[in-house]
Amino acid sequence: MDVNLEQLRAFVAVAQLGNFTRAADQLRLAQPSLSRQISTLEQSLGAELLHRARTGSTLTAAGESLLPLARRMLADAASVRRELDELAGLQRGRVRLGATPTLCISLVAEVLSAFHAAHPGIELHITESGSRGLLDHLAGGELDLALITTSGAASAERFSVAPLLVEELVVISSAGAPPLTARESIGLGEVAGLPQVAFSSTYDLRATTDAAFAAAGLSPSTVIEGAEMDAVLRFVERGIGVAIVPAMVLIERSGLRSVRLSDPTLTRTISIARVADISATAAVEVMQQTIVRTAAALAAGPQATMRLA
């Protein structure tokens, strides 16, 4: 048999996602290249692995048999890579870190700055996704660490999840506009009547705010819906509306002002996750320590909107 790791990686991605297009996007491949890898693998093994249909792809009996073996082979290959990195110490190596969009523009930027300054020889790979997507990447061996905001989605048996910070959600508005209130906080009922810039429905943050409005029997006045984090911040800076965001995203954002939210106060817990039964390389251990130190420094700052978990 002439089988390689790229073919196995392609097969596992399609098996997990049930869709060639999404698998190609995840692997950063052109879809024809992905299809060729799967076809070549099937030819090498002499068996059809996937039932292909317009609605998606499902595993054949042969595919069901191959999937656990392919995952094991990919995990073994990753283990060899980690052992070789250990031999080189922190002069070379690789850390694959995943984080949610809100953390990528705040905590992760601070972490990577400190880590790269101390260990410039280490390759850094960043994946940005929602918490559940990051856990899928971890389970598939595509990440070493993930910063997530929905630790309840992580199985205690499969993942090691350590809470880092508890952070308040705040209401932001343009620094060029009058303050939303003269008080130290603003109620959710008042916020509902203001023009809202709302996140994409794929954001964990959107689910949190939607649930809070629904629980209070409120219908927010939305002017823009479906935006990503950077776009939300820019729209608010331009004075189009207000948004409810984690306090951390205001770091170095002079064009925004914030006010704490009350009735109710909304928070999120930021946690660091890794696969429980895989030992970490020296580089990954140092990255985790850097994350913990950076989180502690943020919690010790003058803002009262976050604390150590």
Q: Which run of H or E residues covers position 93?
A: strand 93-99
- Per-residue pLDDT band at 80 (split at 50, 70, 90): confident
- Per the structure block, which two tokens stand in for 160? 């090691």
The pLDDT, as a whole number, for residue 76 is 83
The pLDDT, as a whole number, for residue 302 is 67
- Per-residue pLDDT band at 227 (split at 50, 70, 90): confident
The pLDDT, as a whole number, for residue 156 is 53
The pLDDT, as a whole number, for residue 152 is 43
Indicate if the alpha-carbon torsion angle 224, 227, 232, 234 is positive or negative: negative
Rounded Cα gap, residues 163 and 158, in angstroms: 16
Q: What is the pLDDT averaged over residues 290-309?
A: 83
Half-sphere exposure of 186 (CA within 13 A, CB side): 22
How does pLDDT run across 46-74, given as a tens digit for each residue?
999 999 888 889 999 999 999 999 998 99
- Is the entire prediction scored with pTM above 0.95? no
Q: Closest Cα partner for 198 from 225, 235, 171?
A: 225
Q: Which domains does the chain have, with CATH numbers?
A: 5-83 (1.10.10.10), 91-309 (3.40.190.290)
